[in-house]
Amino acid sequence: MLNDDVSSGGGEPPSHPSFESLKAFRSAGRGPWAQVADSDWNDWRWQMRHRITTLEQLERLLPALAPEERAGTDLVAAKLSMGITPYFFNLIDLSDPLCPIRRQVVPRLEETDRAPWELTDPCGEDRHSPVPGLVHRYPDRVLFLVTNRCASYCRYCTRSRLVSNASGYGFHPDFERQLDYIARTPQVRDVLLSGGDPLVFSDDKLEHLLNRLRAIPHVEFLRIGTRIPIFLPQRITPDLCGMLRRFHPLFVSIHSNHPHELTIEAREALGRLADAGIPLGNQSVLLRGINDSVEVMRAHVQKLLLCRVRPYYLYQCDLIAGSAHFRTSVQKGLEIIEGLRGYTTGYAVPTFAIDAPGGGGKVPVSPDYVLSRNAERVVIRNYEGKIFEYPEALDCAAPCRAGQGAQSDWA
């Protein structure tokens, strides 16, 4: 009943690892797979084949399974599959029932709760899809969903309606229709491959898709969104990196939430991508009890820079059905950004954003550094709360070139 002790505050207080310990790079080790040959352990296909997908496996590996976890795992068959790579499983701290790694991938009963404002498609993606599996929300870029599979499944996944196909959504991307839409839509200059996780594909399949995209003249910029460097760093092989580098400019956005995910193995995998000239960004989801503190986030973003990854977005958790136990207040996210800005490297500070419910896209939300503003002056505060005044410049005092240009009757 360790769980009750912690939540009621009646027993051992949860241990807070120090900043130094959060920042340390460790290896995942072998844990229960000590007997497995190196060649198997380091083979990404072996890791995929040996994922933890059933309650029996979980009970064997996690002896102190909480009743909520057991019940949750029983129920996931109809929602979002369980899948945990042996590598990622080894990052779970067995002595901590609230382990931030464990809570991201081990199902819990709370996932079956549903608040009235929660949705199965919280970002209104389906309604912005001109063809299935292609989301065209912004003027110049599209989100290209290429698969419903991932190396492991995140319990708060915003696309759980289609990811893993547990809910019977029947997602079957039709690449021909998706590519055809991109080819006949010249304003699309940026294609973001996502899913699911595009790096579950073989090198050949991915290469074929990237070749098809590169054959479209107006597609300037390619990106891949993937959590594989975190769930399955073994997938980031020299062959994969050698293939990807032929498609530049190509950026990769990874998804990491907690400093413990940044292991020696992940750092090496990210280094291989960076050495292939691929700029790396990170997207995190703000998750209650997992990364909702300045200290954890500061360690995380600094560690990302050590892995040559620039923190890109921090998302407020979407209103996906069964995610209430993961959500924090927006205020918490603002506090975290305030606790980073000025206190650490500017490159380490992500943009905090809410993906507007129903389909408005990503809206940045920022602490208020502008205290007041009028035509004469802007009053600002710095990260320490000190107040400064900036005298406003006049953009269009006559005569001014922009003003003249606007006078069409002069022409």
Nearest to 132 by CA among 108, 162, 153, 107: 162
- CB–CB of 248/218 below 8 Å? no
User: Within positions 148 to 187, which residues make up the interface with ligand SF4, using CB under 6 A?
Assistant: 150, 153-154, 157, 159, 163
Task: State the Cα–Cα distance between residues 27 and 369, nearest whole angstrom.
Answer: 40
Closest distance of CB 194 from ligand SF4, Å: 7
Among 19, 25, 33, 138, contact with ligand PLP (rule: CB under 6 A)? 138
User: Where does this chain touch ligand PLP (CB under 6 A) — which range of 40-48, 93-101, 132-140, 201-209?
Assistant: 132-140
Closest distance of CB 24 from ligand SF4, Å: 25
Closest distance of CB 331 from ligand PLP, Å: 23
- 3-state SS, residue 281: strand
- 3-state SS, residue 376: coil
Stretch 88-127: interaction string toward ligand PLP, x if CB under 6 A: ----------------------------------------
Given ligand PLP, ligand SF4, none, residue 153, with its beta carbon under 5 to 8 Å by kind, binds ligand SF4
Q: HSE on the CB side for 305, CA within 13 Å?
A: 12
Burial (CB < 10 A; 0-12, 13-18, 19+), residue 120, is middle
User: Within positions 349 to 388, which residues make up the interface with ligand PLP, using CB under 6 A?
Assistant: 362
Q: Give the CA angle between residues 262, 285, 9 to the nearest 5°.
A: 85
Task: State the Cα–Cα distance between residues 83 and 235, nearest whole angstrom.
Answer: 16
Task: State the Cα–Cα distance between residues 206 and 244, nearest whole angstrom.
Answer: 9
| Residues known to be catalytic | 137-138, 141, 150, 154, 157, 159, 318, 355, 362
Q: According to the binding rule CB under 6 A, does residue 245 interact with ligand PLP? A: no
Q: Which is nearer to ligand SF4, 228 or 299 (CB)?
A: 228
Task: State the Cα–Cα distance between residues 58 and 43, nearest whole angstrom.
Answer: 22
User: Within positions 218 to 277, which residues make up the interface with ligand SF4, using CB under 6 A?
Assistant: 227, 255
Closest distance of CB 205 from ligand SF4, Å: 18
Q: Which residues bind ligand SF4 (CB under 6 A)?
A: 150, 153-154, 157, 159, 163, 195-197, 227, 255
